[in-house]
Structure 1
Amino acid sequence: MSIRLFADSASDLPEIFYEEYDVELIPLRVLIDDKEFEDMVTIQPKEVFQKIREGKMPKTSQASPVFFQKVFTDLAKSGNQGIYVTFSSELSGTYQTAVMIRDQVKEEYPELDLTIIDSKGASLGYGLVIKEAASLLKQGASAESIISFAKSRCQHMEHLFTVEDLDYLAKGGRVSKASAFLGGLLNVKPLLHVEDGKLVPIEKIRGRKKLIKRILDVMEDRGQNLGQQVIAISHGDDEEMALEMKHLIQERFQPKEVYINIIGAAVGSHAGPGTLAIFFSNQYPVEQ
């Protein structure tokens, strides 16, 4: 019996990762101009950001229950053990649907062995957990140790991010329209984080230089052993800004690695172009 690892597209990991580590992708869905797409399968992030710049407002929905039904049934028939770490249950219904479909499949296939973990995270804050779990699996770790590691890593993952335009978050219901208007009017940028899976503002900062300095200060305050960590940066189709932040992080903390990737279509539909997000652990090393 082997172990199968599953992740959904809100982890913002590139396609090549899923191929190299043999992780099964669960695509979330994006709706644009009344057409539905599967994130990373039938639409790519840059296409979504371009649509937003053209004035479109994409909508998103959780992974398909029909897709879950097939994937979980195939897992049950294979006799393999499964581990699925999901997008935060506070930001998507994917976790709840996955649990419901798993329980339905177990009625027909009681032998199904599938652990579903709510990451309480998003983008590469969730993706880092998947990357490290996949590495442990390649090294021959047991399912129990991978599950324990993933739960601990999720619990201690910090998310810090800012957006170029608060209107995107307002249209997605993430912040009030009044706050969005105020931010744009005064050139105030929000600094936000994820708390128990929810999107929570920390403060508003006027000026890009002050914002970047504040992000680095919060990292220093919250992070543990940053020099030993892999720190991740995701961006809303603004690689230049991500590379600038990478340089500043390397200069200040000398981390083991800084991993960069574009924000995926599902998360990017709400965050919008110009988003910058940084992910690290507040407890390192974590338990395995």
Structure 2
Amino acid sequence: MIWSIVSDSSCDLRVSDFTSEKVLFETVPLRLQVGAREFIDNDELDTRELLTAMDAEKTASSTACPSPAAFARAFEKADRTVCFTISANLSGTYNAAVMGREMVLEEHPEKEICIIDSKSTAGAMVLLIRKAKELMEADTQGDFAGICDQLRMYQAALRTCFTLENFDNLIKNGRMRPLVGTLLHSLGIHVIADATPQGTIHVADKARGEGKTYKAITELMRGSKDCEGAHVVISHCENLAGAMKLKEQILKDLPVKGVDIISCRGLTTFYAMEKGLIVGY
């Protein structure tokens, strides 16, 4: 019996960082269009090259979700598959995965495929993948439905927040007025936002300077859930120093179990931009 975890590439976990003797892992890449160039969000993508291209491009860049066929190819490789996607309220990726599932089940009705909307992205999806791996490796009864139920409950308890310093992409895509973006940047103001339970984005706060920003993030985390024993994943976009400082603040302020730091993949780099930090917990 072959178990598999599939995710779209917004999860920030590289395939090369996943090891298991029992469970397969695959990411289905999104595509990023910057001017005439297309970037495929796989393990080989150079995020620094992506940022440089976005900085040089004067027009709005865009993203495209994977095709149903791409998900179907991933689902065909195992007997039992759990798939996590970026929030369905932010992308059509979830719907593509559902269509891919139906394509496979038409030909292979014996396969079991569960699609879970993470209602988030980045570190929260990493936590879901790690939880799925743990449950699959411990399973001795082949309890696929039970594992999927546990993962849905775990997803409902996860939270995401993030902070931005660079607003160029928001401005180019018409989501922020140039004057506002310039003013925020010149004043050193960081926007702090979180994901709602429905998977939409809510601007929660603004802070001036790193120290106040990281303190505001831990206060937001404290107010959103009981963080006792929580696992935390910080994704950073070319900002390891900032991620280390935020980790220190989280460990100081909150009773979490541990904090891991990973670098953004292409999709999260596209939206977080340079120095952006995304926290899944």
Coarse TM-score class (shorter-chain normalised):
0.7 to 0.9
Q: Which position in structure 2 is the counterpart of 1:30?
A: 32
Paired with 2:15 and 2:2, the residues of 1 have a C-alpha distance of: 22
The 8 Å contact of residues 164 and 274 in structure 1, kept in 2 or not, is answered as: yes
Paired with 1:17 and 1:149, the residues of 2 have a C-alpha distance of: 24
Q: Which position in structure 1 is the counterpart of 2:219?
A: 217
Structure 1 window deviating more from structure 2 (152-161 vs 185-194): it is 185-194
Are residues 169 and 150 of structure 1, via their aligned partners in 2, closer, same or farther at CA, if it must alter by over 3 Å? farther
The 8 Å contact of residues 3 and 24 in structure 2, kept in 1 or not, is answered as: no
Q: Which position in structure 1 is the counterpart of 2:164?
A: 163
Whether 1:137 aligns to 2:117 is no
Partner AA of 1:104 in structure 2: M
Q: Which position in structure 2 is the counterpart of 1:12?
A: 12
Paired with 1:172 and 1:146, the residues of 2 have a C-alpha distance of: 40
* Counterpart selection for 1:200 from 179, 199, 202: 202
Whether 1:94 aligns to 2:93 is yes
* Counterpart selection for 1:68 from 67, 71, 78: 71
Query: How far 1:96 sits from its partner (Å)?
Result: 0.5
Partner AA of 2:93 in structure 1: T
SS at match of 1:22: strand
Partner AA of 2:218 in structure 1: L
Structure 1 window deviating more from structure 2 (104-113 vs 247-256): it is 104-113
What root-mean-square deviation, in Å, do the aligned CA atoms of Structure 1 and Structure 2 show?
A: 2.4
Paired with 1:179 and 1:144, the residues of 2 have a C-alpha distance of: 49
Paired with 1:3 and 1:193, the residues of 2 have a C-alpha distance of: 32
Paired with 2:176 and 2:280, the residues of 1 have a C-alpha distance of: 21
The 8 Å contact of residues 161 and 280 in structure 2, kept in 1 or not, is answered as: yes
Aligned residue pairs total 275
Are residues 110 and 143 of structure 1, via their aligned partners in 2, closer, same or farther at CA, if it must alter by over 3 Å? closer
Q: Percent identity?
A: 27
Query: How far 1:94 sits from its partner (Å)?
Result: 0.8
Paired with 1:4 and 1:266, the residues of 2 have a C-alpha distance of: 22
Alignment of 1:37-76 (within 5 A): 37-54=39-56, 58-72=61-75, 74-75=76-77
Partner AA of 2:70 in structure 1: F
Query: How far 1:137 sits from its partner (Å)?
Result: 1.2
Query: How far 1:51 sits from its partner (Å)?
Result: 3.1
Paired with 2:92 and 2:19, the residues of 1 have a C-alpha distance of: 26
Q: Which position in structure 2 is the counterpart of 1:259?
A: 260
Are residues 203 and 252 of structure 1, via their aligned partners in 2, closer, same or farther at CA, if it must alter by over 3 Å? closer
Unaligned runs of 5+ residues in structure 2 are none
Partner AA of 2:200 in structure 1: K
Query: How far 1:201 sits from its partner (Å)?
Result: 0.6
SS at match of 1:111: coil
Query: How far 1:175 sits from its partner (Å)?
Result: 4.7
TM-score by length of 2: 0.87
The 8 Å contact of residues 10 and 266 in structure 1, kept in 2 or not, is answered as: yes
Paired with 1:208 and 1:225, the residues of 2 have a C-alpha distance of: 22
TM-score by length of 1: 0.85
